[in-house]
Amino acid sequence: EVQLVESGGGLVQPGGSLRLSCAASGFIVRSNYINWVRQAPGKGLEWVSLIFSDDSTFYADSVKGRFTISRDNSRNTLYLQMNSLRSEDTAVYYCARGYNYGDYWGQGALVTVSS
């Protein structure tokens, strides 16, 4: 069974850093495309980042230069390193498998940026 489980969310001050993890089971992360998508409280979905099977990475303009997507093949886990966090980064962050669309999504991790 395919599963994605996010962790690492929490409260962080503006300008701070946080690393989210997305542990995958039922499929091999290095052979798949994995995205991060976020949802601010009461708002819609916003694509954040994508990593290809060949390690190519892509980012939304809103996070480019501040966020880094990566993976640990030995742990079958995806990461999102978030630096220079702003209040507008407050959201539930989901990892989702897929290139054209997300066929499996994790349950989400809440990141709150506030002083």
> Which residues make up the interface to another protein (CB under 8 A)?
35, 37, 44-47, 50, 58-61, 94, 96, 100-108
To the nearest whole angstrom, how small is the minimum distance from the Cβ of residue 68 to another protein?
15
Q: Which is nearer to another protein, 31 or 61 (CB)?
A: 61
CB closer to another protein, 62 vs 81 = 62
Least distance from another protein to the Cβ atom of residue 90, Å:
17
**Between 56 and 74, whose beta carbon lies closer to another protein?**
56
- Provide the token pair at 40: 């601010």
Please, which residue, 15 or 40, has the CB nearer to another protein?
Answer: 40
C-alpha span between 23 and 12 (Å, rounded) = 22
Rounded distance, CA 61 to CA 52, Å?
Answer: 18
Question: Nearest to residue 24, comparing CAs of 113, 82, 98?
Answer: 98
Q: Residue 5 CB, nearest distance to another protein (Å)?
A: 11
- Is the separation of the CB atoms in 67 and 83 below 8 Å? yes
At closest approach, how far in Å is the CB of 77 from another protein?
Answer: 18
Sequence-distant (≥ 6) Cβ neighbours of residue 64 within 8 angstroms:
none
